[in-house]
Chains A and B, each alone.
Chain A
């Protein structure tokens, strides 16, 4: 089978060598980091080394690192934990300010809080590039602060969008919210390792990151949680992580995650420039091959921080994204229509709809995401296959259109 071209780093990334080395080494050992004997102490040492390394990479204090099973768990812990803690302190605080472009790990969690825990969700609109409206946020915050009994429990805004790659103005969000004494959570799963991210400098109260998006293993992530931030636990047990997260720590994955994070942050300036140059080659190539294609999200050709350097996200008019995906896959090029979903049912992206696109336009979507394993040859392979794939996908048309095949029922 011929080697496929992987252009889906936003979904997951291949393990980097540094992570692979640590992972395989640790998998051959045993020991529960909570045990008090020798093998436990050895495992504890590895975990705590990893905690310090990860904290250094993410601009956090080691005690602010809470290891989880991944980004989704970190988002759940932060949002439910913050919401419950804030509401426990004052039952009137039940509003959550959240833009409509969040990943499902956030969007479905706050929807669950709304459905089961009395939360009231307040949408923060985004512009056509997917940037949250600071004016709208300010209006909501100030109106709430003026109340005798403020009702906002928390604000959550992703650091960078997983579909269109737009980087959000987190520093401004935090400044505004803190001005009104409202805590802020951010899903930084896509941003961390790809652009400079410092938990301390951001002022965030909590931040979710994930191992497998940065060349680490799947199944490990972390919540960075400010030391003074109170959250109510979601899962209960041994209280291994600051009494906030329970479950035996996965020493090997944690060590590999930290190794990948260290490598990603060490190489970030060079890799960011290299990957952004590849992205530029890709976007220019797509524009030349398919002039009708529209880049979505902030353009950011100079890679000055408005967009994830590896993200190129297009809408192709007159065709279904899943047709394009199918044809590119058949040509050995692995891409995505946005975020992978469990049942594999393609629906127009909620991110693009929030950005104001109509359903038909939003259906013709294709995301190419570059990462540490990407090369010029990958980009060129895509550009070679794209024109024919687009022509065919257009012939296949939109799913909603009436078939032109004549049958009994079309006669009258």
Chain B
């Protein structure tokens, strides 16, 4: 196969590319230039995806003996990921930009270009497993190493995208093994630290970065009954479940810490309350996608009542969160679009609108949806994004 290895400059993608080469594929390394600094003649200037990362990826390709290119996706990245990130926060939601990047950049813009240029698949260093059933349909499963499993951030891939995806690190028992393998292969990135945080916010200060992008106005922090308990410098910088940085003047009646329960961008209000009020037992998700074939019970189009049968699953709402037992069903909204309704067997904490709920059966990823609203067991109303 002709394989395009997306090379971040990190150890995972380097080892993934090495394995693809060793498997006999015709591999080409591509580093994605995702951001640029405007207003300078310099062709090489960029904010993130540093020049050092680019050089590390280049060096890895040299050692593997494969060609290396840098492709510019900065314009698409800005529109599909960065602007979307800002718009979601502005609407009071908490997006996951890494999933958005997988969905629209790595496995859409890059994949489409790769296919047009004659490649069969895009290979990345994600820890997840793709298997094929007897009919050739592809399924996405968790990686062998659950601690490193990244099936969550790939849960947004469709069957079509999976058909052109290759994750050679799937069966690796541990990250330590990948580093050892890199060392043994002479890859200089073997000891390079893992990347964290959001790549386009280099210093990790999401709130400070957002404050430069979204107009922040001072507003009230209120409790569940609507009484003012403090003030904030802009509601959009807050995330449901957040505890730090609230600076509340009025102490809670029970003296316990308070958490953000809801962000109301229209009213520029942040609602806070005790931890137990973060418990969620029902989520409604939009922008549903299925990671391969959907479960038979999820078929909603043949139902006259616009509600599918229920199916057992496990729901996960963050990259390294624990999945919880749930039942799922699909409903059609007024526009005829699918909505995923997930009812949790045990309540879950810290669910923010805008987050992605990925649903599993066993190790298999069924699909995902963007959480539009979540119902609290303790609070009367639903936590919704004001959108």
Counting chain A CB atoms within 10 Å of each CB, the highest count among B31, B41, B44 belongs to B41
Say yes or no: A322-B116 contact (C-beta < 8 A), given A342-B44, A403-B109, A407-B289.
no
B76 A402 Cβ-Cβ under 8 A: yes
Cβ-defined partner of A345 (8 Å) among B43, B111, B289: B43
Q: How long is the Cα–Cα vector from A403 to B161 in the complex, in angstroms?
A: 12
Q: How long is the Cα–Cα vector from A258 to B367 in the complex, in angstroms?
A: 68
Complex interface bits, A319-347 against B, C-beta within 8 A gives 1, otherwise 0: 01011011101100000000101111111
Asked whether any CB of chain B lies closer than 8 Å to the CB of A37, the reply is no
Interface positions of B from 141 to 189, Cβ below 8 Å from A: 156-158, 160-161
B71 A408 Cβ-Cβ under 8 A: no
B70 A343 Cβ-Cβ under 8 A: yes
Q: For A325, list chain B residues within 8 Å (CB).
A: 69
Q: For A400, list chain B residues within 8 Å (CB).
A: 75-76
**CB nearest neighbor in B for A412:** B337
Cβ-defined partner of B111 (8 Å) among A342, A350, A405, A406: A405
B13 to chain A, nearest CB (A): 16
Q: For B256, list chain A residues within 8 Å (CB).
A: none
Complex interface bits, B189-232 against A, C-beta within 8 A gives 1, otherwise 0: 00000000000000000000000000000000000000000000
Cβ-defined partner of B51 (8 Å) among A327, A342, A395, A397: A342
Interface positions of B from 251 to 299, Cβ below 8 Å from A: 286-289
A411 B287 Cβ-Cβ under 8 A: yes
Q: For A344, list chain B residues within 8 Å (CB).
A: 31, 44, 54, 58, 68-70
Asked whether any CB of chain B lies closer than 8 Å to the CB of A404, the reply is yes
A109 to chain B, nearest CB (A): 11
Q: How long is the Cα–Cα vector from A301 to B247 in the complex, in angstroms?
A: 74
Complex interface bits, A385-412 against B, C-beta within 8 A gives 1, otherwise 0: 0000000110111011111111111011
Q: How long is the Cα–Cα vector from A291 to B332 in the complex, in angstroms?
A: 51
Q: For A292, list chain B residues within 8 Å (CB).
A: none
Interface residue stretch chosen among B100-108, B125-133, B347-355: B100-108
Asked whether any CB of chain B lies closer than 8 Å to the CB of A108, the reply is yes
B117 A327 Cβ-Cβ under 8 A: yes
Q: How long is the Cα–Cα vector from A342 to B45 in the complex, in angstroms?
A: 10
Counting chain A CB atoms within 10 Å of each CB, the highest count among B68, B103, B369 belongs to B103
Q: How long is the Cα–Cα vector from A247 to B41 in the complex, in angstroms?
A: 30
A162 to chain B, nearest CB (A): 13
Q: How long is the Cα–Cα vector from A34 to B288 in the complex, in angstroms?
A: 75
Say yes or no: A346-B70 contact (C-beta < 8 A), given A399-B75, A403-B108, A406-B158.
yes
- Interface of chain B: mostly helix, strand, loop or mixed: mixed
Q: For B103, list chain A residues within 8 Å (CB).
A: 407-409
Asked whether any CB of chain B lies closer than 8 Å to the CB of A128, the reply is no
A412 B117 Cβ-Cβ under 8 A: no
A412 B335 Cβ-Cβ under 8 A: yes
Q: For A399, list chain B residues within 8 Å (CB).
A: 71-73, 75-76, 109, 113
Complex interface bits, B56-90 against A, C-beta within 8 A gives 1, otherwise 0: 00100000000111111101100110001000000
Asked whether any CB of chain A lies closer than 8 Å to the CB of B118, the reply is yes
Say yes or no: A408-B116 contact (C-beta < 8 A), given A107-B41, A345-B72.
no
Cβ-defined partner of B43 (8 Å) among A341, A402, A403: A341
B54 A403 Cβ-Cβ under 8 A: no
Asked whether any CB of chain A lies closer than 8 Å to the CB of B370, the reply is yes
Q: For A401, list chain B residues within 8 Å (CB).
A: 76
A326 B368 Cβ-Cβ under 8 A: no
Asked whether any CB of chain A lies closer than 8 Å to the CB of B306, the reply is no
B33 A345 Cβ-Cβ under 8 A: yes
Q: For B69, list chain A residues within 8 Å (CB).
A: 322, 325-326, 344
**Number of A-B pairs, beta carbon distance below 8 Å:** 135
Say yes or no: A345-B158 contact (C-beta < 8 A), given A397-B113, A407-B289.
no
Asked whether any CB of chain A lies closer than 8 Å to the CB of B36, the reply is yes
Asked whether any CB of chain A lies closer than 8 Å to the CB of B19, the reply is no
Say yes or no: A392-B158 contact (C-beta < 8 A), given A344-B69, A404-B112, A409-B103.
no
Counting chain B CB atoms within 10 Å of each CB, the highest count among A339, A401, A403 belongs to A403
Asked whether any CB of chain B lies closer than 8 Å to the CB of A117, the reply is no
Q: For A111, list chain B residues within 8 Å (CB).
A: 40-41
Asked whether any CB of chain A lies closer than 8 Å to the CB of B364, the reply is no
Q: For A329, list chain B residues within 8 Å (CB).
A: 67
B23 to chain A, nearest CB (A): 20
Interface positions of A from 329 to 372, Cβ below 8 Å from B: 329-330, 339, 341-347, 350
Asked whether any CB of chain B lies closer than 8 Å to the CB of A104, the reply is yes
Q: For A407, list chain B residues within 8 Å (CB).
A: 103-104, 107-108, 156-158, 161, 289
Say yes or no: A396-B100 contact (C-beta < 8 A), given A341-B43, A344-B70, A408-B156.
no
A52 to chain B, nearest CB (A): 38
Say yes or no: A412-B287 contact (C-beta < 8 A), given A397-B116, A405-B112, A405-B161.
yes
Complex interface bits, A95-112 against B, C-beta within 8 A gives 1, otherwise 0: 000000000100110010
Q: For B112, list chain A residues within 8 Å (CB).
A: 396, 403-405
B286 A412 Cβ-Cβ under 8 A: yes
B37 to chain A, nearest CB (A): 10
Complex interface bits, B24-48 against A, C-beta within 8 A gives 1, otherwise 0: 0000100101001000111110100
Q: How long is the Cα–Cα vector from A346 to B73 in the complex, in angstroms?
A: 10
Q: How long is the Cα–Cα vector from A400 to B113 in the complex, in angstroms?
A: 11
Cβ-defined partner of A343 (8 Å) among B40, B51, B67, B117: B51
Q: How long is the Cα–Cα vector from A141 to B33 in the complex, in angstroms?
A: 41
A345 B41 Cβ-Cβ under 8 A: no
Q: For B28, list chain A residues within 8 Å (CB).
A: 326, 330
Q: For B40, list chain A residues within 8 Å (CB).
A: 111
A346 B117 Cβ-Cβ under 8 A: no
Q: For A326, list chain B residues within 8 Å (CB).
A: 28, 67, 69, 117
**CB nearest neighbor in B for A350:** B41
Which of B's residues lie within 8 Å of A, judged by CB?
A: 28, 31, 33, 36, 40-44, 46, 51, 54-55, 58, 67-73, 75-76, 79-80, 84, 100, 103-104, 107-109, 111-113, 116-118, 156-158, 160-161, 286-289, 335, 337-338, 368-370
The 7 closest A-B pairs by CB, nearest first: A408-B289, A396-B116, A343-B44, A403-B108, A400-B75, A395-B116, A341-B43
A-B contact pairs, 24 of them (CB 8 A): A104-B42, A104-B43, A111-B40, A322-B71, A322-B72, A326-B117, A341-B44, A343-B44, A344-B68, A346-B70, A346-B72, A347-B36, A347-B43, A350-B41, A395-B117, A397-B116, A399-B73, A399-B109, A401-B76, A406-B160, A407-B108, A407-B158, A408-B369, A409-B103
Q: A400-B75, A403-B108, A408-B288 are in contact. List 11 more A-B contacts (CB 8 A).
A: A330-B118, A343-B54, A345-B33, A346-B43, A346-B72, A392-B118, A399-B73, A405-B112, A405-B160, A407-B108, A412-B335
